[in-house]
């Protein structure tokens, strides 16, 4: 059974309270109070959705009581009721957060319609909040895709630290998705409805970075032709994401450290202190401990940022996620056009799985975008890939045998793809016996039987 909304009727006249009770008793849960003190007690002890509040009470003024109630619950809807035609009082009440105003004597149908409109608005607001919560629960990690153990650990860590206000330092190679992690942390935090502001510390010269962060007053420096709020002001009450934090000059690092520690800052050209209610998240693809040893990064700032560290694994360390990522990025353009996404032949998938992806997820995304644009048809074959890029290349500590196997695997796979998976034709092109080819395929782990393509 659906829970009824509750109304608190606050009026010192019993007749008025009873009139409201009879009017709404079938549609609402009714509570009553004859004074400000009783109203506050009732409000503190139970959940109230709507308040019908008389302006003149024996122990307080209605507007003062309105402000007290709003301090307890800013979301409650309050309708003021008065027998006095006082326009200024009405204005004061509306400025203090009243939803509407009723003047005695009132028409029953007018009051009924007004209260039901308020209830309908509250119902819609609750539904929106519920849907937002469901969206966050069902898609908690934004556009991050992964099912590997490494990524599950990252997802668990994001969920664990999101509610905290402590600083976060995200470390990982370029293209691993550090900004997506920062957004996921913000969107699961209590600050989710407030700004998420990004500052790319490597995109601006040192001379402009201070103004970018702190803002400036007109005339603070040459070219400051108007007052300008900095990213810190814009991010107040929300989250500030400092990407490529390693690019900040040591001088700017000191100023940022002070802001994080003191939770306040000043615009350039002023002495007015602005309070900084901000959650700081920073990211880097550098090894900050090495920069500290070289006196290029402040150790105290590192400790201040590294309260909650997040390490993102490179794609080569989570290859189990590659098929899922390929499916996701290949389907994206098709979804926009309302068509089916492209798919990869087995040979093409094997080549992409063997590749180390030095550009990580960003490189994979860019490649998929290119294939979706230039490849005709629904199937992406091995010959559609730039094979000099995607041949498996062992790292420097690999053996000669591993290097030879990697070459043979790529070469045989390419030939098989070119003859639509026919082992007989492939053997002819390779100038080996068919059984020799089959043995090679088994030994090199090439899919057998190979998917036939047309």
CA atoms within 13 A on the CB side of 424: 0
Using a cut of 0.85, tell me whether the model's pTM lies above it: no
Tens digits of residue pLDDT in 140-176: 455 677 888 999 899 999 999 999 999 999 999 999 9
CB 360 within 8 A of CB 313: no
At 364 the pLDDT is: 92
Give the CA radius of gyration of the chain: 32
- In this prediction, residue 416 carries a pLDDT of 81
pLDDT score, position 9 = 93
Specify the pLDDT at position 75: 80
Q: Do the Cβ atoms of 166 and 303 come closer than 8 Å?
A: no
Q: Given this structure, which CATH class describes domain 149-313?
A: alpha beta
Q: Are 76 and 107 in contact (CB under 8 A)?
A: no
Judge whether 186 and 238 are in contact, CB under 8 Å.
Answer: yes
Range in 83-92, 126-135, 267-276, 423-432 with the lowest mean pLDDT: 126-135
pLDDT at residue 338 is higher than 70: no
Would you state the structure tokens that stand for residue 47, as one six-digit string? 């959940």
Interacting residues of 149 by C-beta distance below 8 A, sequence separation 6+: none
pLDDT of amino acid 288: 94
Domain 6-133 has CATH 3.40.30.10: no
What tens digit of pLDDT does each residue of 25-34 get? 888 989 999 9
Can you name the residues that pair with 200 across neighbouring β-strands? 243
Greater confidence (331 vs 173) lies with 173
| Domains 6-133 and 149-313 are alike in CATH topology | yes
What pLDDT does residue 153 have?
Answer: 92
Rounded mean pLDDT, 61-73 = 87
CATH architecture for the domain at 318-444: Orthogonal Bundle (1.10)
Q: Which residue bears the tokens 């909304």?
A: 5
3-state secondary structure of 154: helix
**Mean pLDDT score, 234-253:** 93
Check residue 266 and give its pLDDT: 86
Q: List the chain domain ranges.
A: 6-133, 149-313, 318-444
Q: What is the mean pLDDT of the chain?
A: 84
Helix intervals (H) in 269-399: 288-293, 299-305, 322-337, 346-354, 360-374, 387-390
pLDDT on residue 297:
96
Confidence of residue 450 (pLDDT cuts 50, 70, 90): very low
pLDDT attached to residue 186: 94
Question: Once rounded to an integer, what is the mean pLDDT over residues 298-324?
Answer: 94
Distance CA 274, CA 232 (A): 9
pLDDT of residue 174: 93
CB 252 within 8 A of CB 210: yes
Strands 228-229 and 215-216: antiparallel
The pLDDT of residue 387 is above 70:
no
Lowest-confidence region among 29-33, 60-64, 417-421, 422-426: 417-421
Q: Does residue 333 carry a pLDDT above 60?
A: yes
* pLDDT tens digits for range 344-367: 887 788 888 888 899 999 999 999
């Amino acid at each position: 059974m659906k829970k009824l909304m509750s109304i608190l009727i606050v009026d010192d006249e019993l007749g008025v309270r009873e009139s409201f009770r009879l009017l709404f008793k079938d549609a609402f849960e009714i509570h009553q109070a004859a004074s400000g003190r009783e109203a506050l007690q009732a409000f503190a002890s139970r959940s109230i959705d709507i308040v019908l509040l008389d302006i003149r009470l024996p122990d307080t003024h209605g507007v003062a009581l309105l402000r007290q109630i709003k301090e307890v619950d800013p979301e409650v809807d309050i309708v003021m009721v008065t027998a006095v035609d006082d326009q200024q009082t009405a204005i004061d009440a509306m400025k203090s957060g009243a939803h509407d105003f009723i003047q005695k004597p009132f028409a029953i149908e007018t009051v009924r319609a007004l209260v039901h409109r308020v209830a309908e608005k509250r119902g819609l607001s609750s539904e929106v909040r519920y849907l937002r919560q469901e969206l966050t629960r069902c898609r908690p990690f934004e556009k991050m895709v992964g099912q590997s153990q490494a990524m599950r650990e990252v997802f668990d860590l994001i969920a664990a630290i999101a509610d905290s206000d402590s600083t976060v330092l995200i470390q990982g190679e370029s293209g691993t998705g550090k900004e997506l992690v920062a957004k996921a942390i913000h969107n699961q935090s209590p600050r989710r409805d407030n700004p998420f502001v990004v500052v790319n510390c490597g995109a601006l010269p040192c001379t402009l970075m201070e103004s970018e962060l702190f803002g400036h007053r007109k005339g603070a420096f040459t070219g400051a032709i108007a007052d300008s709020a900095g990213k810190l002001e814009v991010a107040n009450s929300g989250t500030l994401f400092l990407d490529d934090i390693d690019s900040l000059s040591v001088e700017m690092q000191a100023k940022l450290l002070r802001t994080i520690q003191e939770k306040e800052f000043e615009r350039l050209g002023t002495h007015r202190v602005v309070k900084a209610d901000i959650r700081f998240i920073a990211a880097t693809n550098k090894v900050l401990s090495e920069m500290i040893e070289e006196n290029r990064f402040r150790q105290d700032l590192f400790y201040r940022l590294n309260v909650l560290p997040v390490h993102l694994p490179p794609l080569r360390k989570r290859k189990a996620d590659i098929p899922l990522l390929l499916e996701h990025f290949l389907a994206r353009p098709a979804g926009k056009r309302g068509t089916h996404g492209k798919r990869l032949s087995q040979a093409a998938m094997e080549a992409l799985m063997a590749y180390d992806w030095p550009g990580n997820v960003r490189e994979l995304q860019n490649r998929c975008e290119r294939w979706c644009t230039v490849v005709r048809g629904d199937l992406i074959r091995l010959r559609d890939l730039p094979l000099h890029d995607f041949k498996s290349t062992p790292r420097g500590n690999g053996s000669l045998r591993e290097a030879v196997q990697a070459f043979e695997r790529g070469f045989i796979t390419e030939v098989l793809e070119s003859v639509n998976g026919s082992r007989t034709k492939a053997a002819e092109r390779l100038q080996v016996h068919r059984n020799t080819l089959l043995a090679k395929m088994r030994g090199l782990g090439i899919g057998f039987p190979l998917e036939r393509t047309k």
